Amino acid sequence: MKCTLIGSLCLVAGASASGSPIGKVLEMIADLEQKNIAEGDATQKVYEEVAEFCSDRQKEVSFEVSTGEKTVASLKASIAKDSADIEELDAKISDLVASNAGATKELKKATDLRKTESADFATVEKDLLATIDTLERASGIISKNMNGGSFAQLSGVSGLTSALKLLVEAQAVGTADASKLTALLQSYSNNDEQDEEAGAPAAAVTENQSGGILDLLADLQGKAEDDLAAARKAESESQQNYDMKKGALSDEIKFAAKDLDESKKSKASSEEKKAAATGELTASSKDLAQDIKTLNELHADCMSKAADFEAETATRGEELKALATAKKIIKEATSLAQVSLLQVAQGETTQSSSALVKQVRSLAVAQKDSRLARMASRMEALVQRGGANPFGKVVGMIKDMISKLETEAADEAAEKEFCDKALKEANEKKDAADTEIAKLSVKLEQGTSASEQLKEEVTVLQGELAKLMAAQQEMDNIRAEENALYTTSKAELEKGLKGIQAALKVLRDYYAQQPDSGNQGAAGGIVSLLEVCESDFSKGLAEVIAVEEDAAAAYDVQTKDNAMTKLVKDKDVEYKQKEIASLEKTGTELTTDRDAVQAELDAVMQSLASLEKQCIAKAESFESKASKQKAEIDGLKSALESLGGASLIQRSRHLRQAKLHRA
């Protein structure tokens, strides 16, 4: 027979059960109870493992679900931002393409117009040059055929007639001028006929006619030269205007092309990020759906196992209750087991209680636990006082202490788990926030540095523009003064020249009519002197005109260069200011984002400080305290297990006293 009790109690039970059917029944009931209890312990252990697995697995899957939801939300937000950026960039690209196309079309139109104007000018210039050349040759022929200014000695009238016909046929001669030349030609023809009939014409008449032809030719040549100068000036101004417009449009096209290229690159980058985020979102959504499904299945499975365990536990409890009731009835109905138990019960209670108190006190000393020491003192006092069931009270105190220690250990473990998880999450949030703040700070510093650099460049450009405009204003003032001086000087020189020419004409006319005058020598000196004065005035006038034209040309060239420089610098300032505005807008957004992340970090740091105060700032570590609690619990349980027989004797004595009381 297998003995389940210890010491003398086992011997008594064995003796009483020898050859006794009741003893065998009690033994079978005890075996069945032990078997059920063992099965219950095994089931409890398995269930605890399952419950622990369910709890751990549920935490893991829940964390995965939470992480997946955050990832999906973050990816959706990223996709929405990228979509908005792409839409904005599409609009910007459309505007830039339209602007570039318009500027290109306008430049082509201006170029075509410039080509047409240039071709027209070339034709006009060619015609005017041909006319001037014709007039010069005609004047040369007439001058060559005049000897000493006297038409009486003019030879080659047919050559003069040919020259005049050639002049009339020139394309650049107007109708009025052609009529004058025709009239002169007719006059010369009539004079030629009269010359053949009546001899040479009067010298004054022919001289006047030849002088009229030369004056007319000179007027026509001057008019042609003026027209050529005006055409060339108009061509130069048209070319300057075209160059300025071309420069402005070329810069606009260049900057727009650069901006367009950057916008296309930004759009491509946003599309790439959106595509990557979309792919990640699809995969993350699938993973999230699977995690949610796994969590639901895990919850259902764990709840089913819990329900099965509760049902099995309830069934086992009912069976144990039935066995205990049956055993109680058998024991109460027979006196053999109780009498045998009472024979060995004497003296065991006191000895067992003392041993139990001693074991608890030793455990208190070993673990240095004042609570166990106080409990041992109370246990000893109970044993010494005696009274009703002191041993049961001692055992109850130990069980209460075990329950209290187990509860404390469970609370400590739960707090440790909470602290570990909370500290880990808080530190992860802190690290993420620190990283994000660092990234935003770097971007903000880069943007600020770029903005400051651009502002300095704009300041330099604006200073250069101010100097340029001041220089242009000074040039304008100088040019105005030079032109005013030129106008005055030219008027005075022209007035003097006309006076000298008028005087020369009067003298020449007079002395030409007085060929036999005795003052011919003196008159010749005066005329020569006036001719020298006329030459000096003409030369001075030509020099004044040349200086004015050179100054005006230099002024126009410098003004054009200044205008081009101003246009380029204005465009540069405009684009830099746009870039500064864009950088400042981005900087404001980055500052807002960084402030938001900083606020989150401040909250995390506050929470982390609270957690560290709660979880870290302790004199005794969790591992040390948990080890001490386990040792105390194991020691108290060992004490109870080693004294299980005494407890049974104590319960038997109570049954006997109750039976005697009823009798």
The amino acid sitting at 630 is: K
Q: pLDDT tens, 51-80?
A: 888 888 888 888 888 888 888 888 889 899
* SS3 assignment for 583-645: HHHHHHHHHHHHHHHHHHHHHHHHHHHHHHHHHCCCCCCHHHHHHHHHHHHHHHHHHHHHCHH
What pLDDT shows up at residue 359? 66
Query: What is the 8-class DSSP label of residue 172?
Result: T
Question: How confident is the prediction for the chain on average, in pLDDT?
Answer: 75
The residue behind tokens 């910007």 is 92
What pLDDT shows up at residue 426? 82
Question: With contact defined as beta carbons under 8 Å apart, do 17 and 24 qualify?
Answer: yes
Top-confidence residue, 512 or 180: 512
The CA distance from 440 to 447, in Å, is 10
Six-digit token string for 432: 């993420």
Q: How far is CA 273 from CA 76, 85, 288, 582, in A?
A: 12, 11, 21, 22
Lowest mean pLDDT among 3-17, 43-57, 547-561: 3-17
Q: Give the residue-averaged pLDDT of 543-549.
A: 89
What pLDDT shows up at residue 23? 66
Residue 17 pLDDT class (50, 70, 90 cuts): very low
The CA distance from 149 to 154, in Å, is 9
Q: What end-to-end distance do the CA atoms of the chain give, in Å? A: 34
3-state secondary structure of 530: helix
What helix, strand, coil percent values describe the chain, rounded to 5? 90, 0, 10
Query: What is the 8-class DSSP label of residue 150?
Result: B
Q: Give the residue-averaged pLDDT of 215-241.
A: 86
The residue behind tokens 């005013």 is 484
Which of 162-176, 567-581, 606-620 has maximum average pLDDT? 567-581
What pLDDT shows up at residue 336? 41
3-state secondary structure of 6: coil
Top-confidence residue, 175 or 454: 454
3-state secondary structure of 327: helix
Six-digit token string for 489: 């000087």
Checking if the pLDDT of 143 tops 90, the result is no
Residue 9 pLDDT class (50, 70, 90 cuts): very low
Question: With contact defined as beta carbons under 8 Å apart, do 257 and 164 qualify?
Answer: no
What pLDDT shows up at residue 595? 92
CA 61 to chain centre: 36
Q: Give the residue-averaged pLDDT of 433-455.
A: 89
The CA distance from 225 to 228, in Å, is 5
Question: With contact defined as beta carbons under 8 Å apart, do 113 and 120 qualify?
Answer: no
Checking if the pLDDT of 309 tops 70, the result is yes
Residue 194 pLDDT class (50, 70, 90 cuts): low
Top-confidence residue, 525 or 108: 108
Checking if the pLDDT of 331 tops 90, the result is no
From 64, 74, 72, select the one nearest 290 (Cα to Cα): 64
Checking if the pLDDT of 198 tops 70, the result is no
Top-confidence residue, 638 or 652: 638
Q: Give the residue-averaged pLDDT of 396-402.
A: 73
Read out DSSP for 38-107? Answer: HHHHHHHHHHHHHHHHHHHHHHHHHHHHHHHHHHHHHHHHHHHHHHHHHHHHHHHHHHHHHHHHHHHHHH
3-state secondary structure of 511: helix
Q: What is the largest CA-CA distance in the chain?
A: 202
Six-digit token string for 560: 């054009």
Q: Give the residue-averaged pLDDT of 591-619.
A: 81
3-state secondary structure of 251: helix
Q: Where in the chain are the domains?
A: 422-513+520-617
What pLDDT shows up at residue 151? 38
Top-confidence residue, 445 or 631: 445
What are the backbone angles phi and psi of residue 147, rounded to the nearest 5°?
A: -115, 115
Top-confidence residue, 539 or 357: 539
The CA distance from 271 to 206, in Å, is 94
What pLDDT shows up at residue 111? 93
Query: What is the 8-class DSSP label of residue 2?
Result: -
What are the backbone angles phi and psi of residue 59, rounded to the nearest 5°?
A: -65, -45
Q: pLDDT tens, 477-503?
A: 998 998 999 899 889 888 888 888 887
Q: pLDDT tens, 252-300?
A: 888 888 888 888 888 898 888 889 889 888 888 888 898 898 888 888 8
Q: How far is CA 645 from CA 334, 359, 391, 467, in A?
A: 21, 16, 12, 113
What pLDDT shows up at residue 152? 37
Top-confidence residue, 360 or 209: 360
Cβ burial of 604 (10 Å; 0-12, 13-18, 19+) is: buried
Lowest mean pLDDT among 37-41, 379-383, 486-490, 574-578: 379-383
Q: What is the pTM of this model?
A: 0.36
The CA distance from 319 to 579, in Å, is 86
Question: With contact defined as beta carbons under 8 Å apart, do 591 and 444 qualify?
Answer: yes
Lowest mean pLDDT among 46-50, 599-603, 658-662: 658-662
Q: Give the residue-averaged pLDDT of 324-340.
A: 57
Determine the topology of domain 422-513+520-617 in CATH: Helix Hairpins (1.10.287)
Handedness of CA 400, 403, 405, 408 (dihedral sign): negative
